[in-house]
Amino acid sequence: MSPIKLSGIYIYPIKSAAGISLETAEVESRGFQYDRRWMLVDEKGKFLTQRQLPRMALIKVKLTDGELVVEVPDKEFLSIPLEPKTDPCIRVQVWNDICDAIPLSKEINQWFSEFLDIKCQLVYMPENSCRPINPQYAKPNEQVSFADGFPFLLISEASVQDLNKRLEQAVPMNRFRPNLVVSGCEAFAEDYWRKICIGSLDFRVVKPCSRCSITTVDQSQGIKGKEPLLTLAQYRLRDGQIFFGQNLIQDQLGTLQVGDTVEIKNFSE
């Protein structure tokens, strides 16, 4: 049997905007460096995602020296500093969590508001902002960024291939917005992993990922459909939720690289 390998690394600097594929990435205390450290919020400070605004899929980002460059159709690109000025924080909401964030400039907010046709604000999570991971799954003091709930989402290539065999039109991996993609295992093998080592770093596999309507958004067009949720519901439905992929928490900090070997240290029956 061929070894299991890390075949893809992805980060999503702005929550619910397009992702970036990387060859190497730094694992920090909240997840990958720069992953979901920025977020768009409405006038009440509540997070915005592709669930309400599928057009957010068209917000493309890339990292340059000291800046996050943002591009959308029919507008001039936008440059955002990777380390915003330490302006006074505001309180923002992501799901049921309330935490501190730094608001960015009025010009930046106007740029996003015009593109999305909704009044919104871009905020940044500084290092001193505290957003604990659900203690049901985490150790004390473990933190997460603006990600939905956990620092990492892992999916195997085989699981997506299995799904695509059931679909009339295949969907790409980006529908599922993983951080870690692995190859060399059977479909849904990840459902049974509990502790793994990627390269030299240990991770805990803490919870299956319940999937929402974002999986139905064509990431290249920003248009919502019905698949693959309809098909996934036929064989991945449990307790009223559709599960696809696994949430992970890191036990160590360091560097991951595409091609790293994945060792399964603990299974469940």
Q: How do residues 122-172 score in pLDDT, each as one tens digit?
A: 999 999 999 999 999 999 999 999 999 999 999 999 999 999 999 999 999
Q: How do residues 30-73 score in pLDDT, each as one tens digit?
A: 999 999 999 999 999 999 999 999 999 999 999 998 899 999 99
Q: Which domains does the chain have, with CATH numbers?
A: 5-267 (2.40.33.20)
Task: Report whether 227 contacts 242 (CB < 8 A).
Answer: no
The Cβ of residue 239 has, within 10 Å, a number of other Cβ atoms equal to: 6
Q: Which two structure tokens, joined as six digits, stand for 36?
A: 């979901």
Rounded alpha-carbon distances, angstroms, from residue 145 to 2, 100, 134: 34, 11, 13
Average pLDDT over residues 181-185: 98
Task: Report the candidate in 48, 30, 13 with the shortest Cα–Cα distance to residue 150.
Answer: 30
**pLDDT score recorded for residue 217:** 98
**pLDDT score recorded for residue 87:** 72
Give every CB contact of residue 135 below 8 A, 6+ residues apart in sequence: none
pLDDT bracket for residue 1 (50, 70, 90): low
**pLDDT score recorded for residue 177:** 98
Q: How do residues 100-126 score in pLDDT, each as one tens digit?
A: 999 999 999 999 999 999 999 999 999
Task: Report whether 37 contacts 24 (CB < 8 A).
Answer: no
| CB environment 125-147: b (16+ within 10 A), e (fewer) | beeebebebeeeebeeebbbbbb
**pLDDT score recorded for residue 2:** 80
- Residue 60: strand pairing partners: 71
User: Could you give the CA distance from residue 72 to residue 117 in angstroms, rounded to a whole number?
Assistant: 13
pLDDT above 70: residue 12: yes
User: Could you give the CA distance from residue 158 to residue 181 in angstroms, rounded to a whole number?
Assistant: 10
pLDDT bracket for residue 85 (50, 70, 90): confident
**pLDDT score recorded for residue 269:** 62
Give percent of the chain with pLDDT exceeding 90. Answer: 95
Flag whether the pTM goes above 0.85: yes
pLDDT bracket for residue 86 (50, 70, 90): low
Average pLDDT over residues 15-42: 98
pLDDT above 70: residue 24: yes
Q: Which two structure tokens, joined as six digits, stand for 206?
A: 């803490």
Chain centre to alpha carbon of residue 177: 5
User: Could you give the CA distance from residue 233 to residue 47 in angstroms, rounded to a whole number?
Assistant: 27
Q: Which two structure tokens, joined as six digits, stand for 261?
A: 């070997």
Q: How do residues 210-262 score in pLDDT, each as one tens digit?
A: 999 999 999 999 999 999 999 999 999 999 999 999 999 999 999 999 999 99
**pLDDT score recorded for residue 268:** 79
